Structure 1
């Protein structure tokens, strides 16, 4: 590579260990240079040359760092991203971009003012199941899309071991966490809705944060339903797309997170390849004939995001997930909370 981008990561919890550092390590254009760990030095056990700082503030003083990954709890995204930009660093912010739309607007303006790069890490754009769904929607094989439903369900009554996720603070709960993924996917597939309705609830026994939501996004003819529940033992398909001439049904089946948790590194053979029994079902008409078949998905690959970051920083390519995309998600989330509280449809 002509240029190596020295990168600092703000946290070495699951997000750092699983979703960021392996890709920085494998990609020849990045160097995992620094990390923040306040007590444990787990990163150095696997990456002996990494510099360890005890605070984000100290790491931002490292003049060698060009890029900062803000992967700390949601309520800290705005503060740490702002500090990194003010320190002259390019920034990747984990989803959700910010807690409020006003914070997102301010960060985007600051990055533009300083001529710095700001991107949001929306990795589920690069899941195999979403990739095939997007291909089918854009292909026209279903005709005009009239109805779509996207699920991100779990079965987990117990609270998360990540204590910050289970405290009733701004930015916690399923809508900010899992909702940020499927809202992003819906907006990529269908654009910004004209209005929405939402029902956001707490359903686990000991929970104080939302762990169930249903959103209905209103377009001209199209309705898109986004659903999440932490108490779904037998999940429905994650993608149900119905058009004027056909349907596409797809399970949530991307294997990358499971591969990363096993210690596998991106770039290994069959990285992100789905099993055939997870293929999506297409049932439609083509050339006057009914077509019903199972289709393989493209391999999932989160490295596509980091390759996009490298191309943007080094070659002037488009930002793979610009701040404006992250901001639209927060605008939808804020409108959803307003709709659920007021029990009415809210215009966007």
Structure 2
């Protein structure tokens, strides 16, 4: 008996769809790219030419109403995510939603409730859970290689002196735009995977570009965990002039780990590579992190290569298992988890505004 295949429709045809979602749909054996919403095709940007076997719609409601679809992937700006996800669930479709999930934790909870009522699953595209260096850090912590973690720094610093003309630079925080929801979502989701919800949050937001905009472009967020838990620092800056950018600095009772450079999968996807291609997700050994552990009472350093990459395709393959019968417990990034990360973001926003510690 042939394995079941699922028809997938994609709302939006910007970079997110082209780089992060359609290539992963194409390498997931049980998924078929069935249809795409592109509102205004252009001669040099035409989904019908790029994907001639896909059905092209010019509005999201048309695609959502298509009875042949099983899954809808939402890649539009975050201010539209709630309405599209709600409509898709109520139309009987499973949903994959780009991050940030929705603007508020309250909206996230509403969608969790609708998902439970309809029996249709939601997966949030927090792809950096499958960064190879993050999985390397997670393995170090899980195995106790550096002892009990006392401090965890996660950076997403860049030199980008011009504010982007996308939702990342133009949408306000109330609409889930800007650095807090763009890079902050990645940083805080990874901290959540490792350590869960913090006890309290302190945050400082800044406009490092000094370009007159009201919205911040940089952040520092401190998460405190009780009962011997770590102090977590999440940082994102746009005026970081470095030959190599710090990514992780993790300190424990028996050692430490420091890693520079960003996971290579995004650049490889932009260059047209896909999971399964030779070398996909494999970082140059020159970019390996440094592990320091105590030998007796003296620290000893060594180069630590990333573990073998699982790649971003894992999110799609795991979601395929979830909708294929494994159910909600198998969803790789649950809507309830994205809701919790939004709670951290909302606490950070409150802290930055009040200049006070916010307890969760």
Tell me whether the two structures share a fold, i.e. TM-score over 0.5.
yes
Mapped partners of 1:230, 1:306: distance in 2:
31
Task: Give 1:201's aligned residue.
Answer: 206
Mapped partners of 1:23, 1:287: distance in 2:
47
* Equivalent of residue 229 in structure 1, options 237, 260, 270: 237
Task: Give 2:252's aligned residue.
Answer: 243
For residues 72-100 of structure 1, the C-alpha deviation after alignment (integer angstroms, 9 at most, x for no partner) is 10111111101111111101111111101
Task: Give 2:272's aligned residue.
Answer: 263
> 1:155-166 alignment to 2 at 5 Å?
155-162=159-166, 165-166=169-170
TM-score (norm 2): 0.93
3-state SS of paired residue (1:178): helix
State the 1:245 CA deviation. 1.5
Task: Give 2:13's aligned residue.
Answer: 12
Mapped partners of 1:194, 1:201: distance in 2:
24
1:309 matched to 2:319: yes
State the 1:43 CA deviation. 2.0
Mapped partners of 1:338, 1:163: distance in 2:
21
* Equivalent of residue 143 in structure 1, options 147, 171, 177: 147
State the 1:164 CA deviation. 6.9
Mapped partners of 2:11, 2:213: distance in 1:
28
3-state SS of paired residue (2:175): coil
State the 1:202 CA deviation. 2.1
For residues 275-299 of structure 1, the C-alpha deviation after alignment (integer angstroms, 9 at most, x for no partner) is 0011111101257775421111122
3-state SS of paired residue (1:7): strand
Task: Give 1:85's aligned residue.
Answer: 89
Displaced runs of 4 or more, over 4 A: 286-290
* Equivalent of residue 330 in structure 1, options 327, 339, 342: 342
Task: Give 2:286's aligned residue.
Answer: 277
Structure 1 range deviating more: 335-344 or 133-142: 133-142
Residues 280 and 295 in structure 1, CA contact (< 8 A), matched pair in contact too: yes
TM-aligned CA distance change 1:250 to 1:33, over 3 Å: same
For residues 164-209 of structure 1, the C-alpha deviation after alignment (integer angstroms, 9 at most, x for no partner) is 7414352111010011001000111112110010001222215342
TM-aligned CA distance change 1:287 to 1:301, over 3 Å: farther
TM-score (norm 1): 0.96
Mapped partners of 1:291, 1:311: distance in 2:
43
Residues 127 and 312 in structure 2, CA contact (< 8 A), matched pair in contact too: yes
3-state SS of paired residue (1:338): helix
Task: Give 1:189's aligned residue.
Answer: 194
For residues 89-139 of structure 1, the C-alpha deviation after alignment (integer angstroms, 9 at most, x for no partner) is 101111111101110000000000111111111000111111111111111
* Equivalent of residue 123 in structure 1, options 117, 127, 144: 127
3-state SS of paired residue (2:276): coil
Gaps of 5+ in 1: none
TM-align CA RMSD: 1.6
Gaps of 5+ in 2: none
State the 1:17 CA deviation. 0.2
Residues 245 and 261 in structure 2, CA contact (< 8 A), matched pair in contact too: no
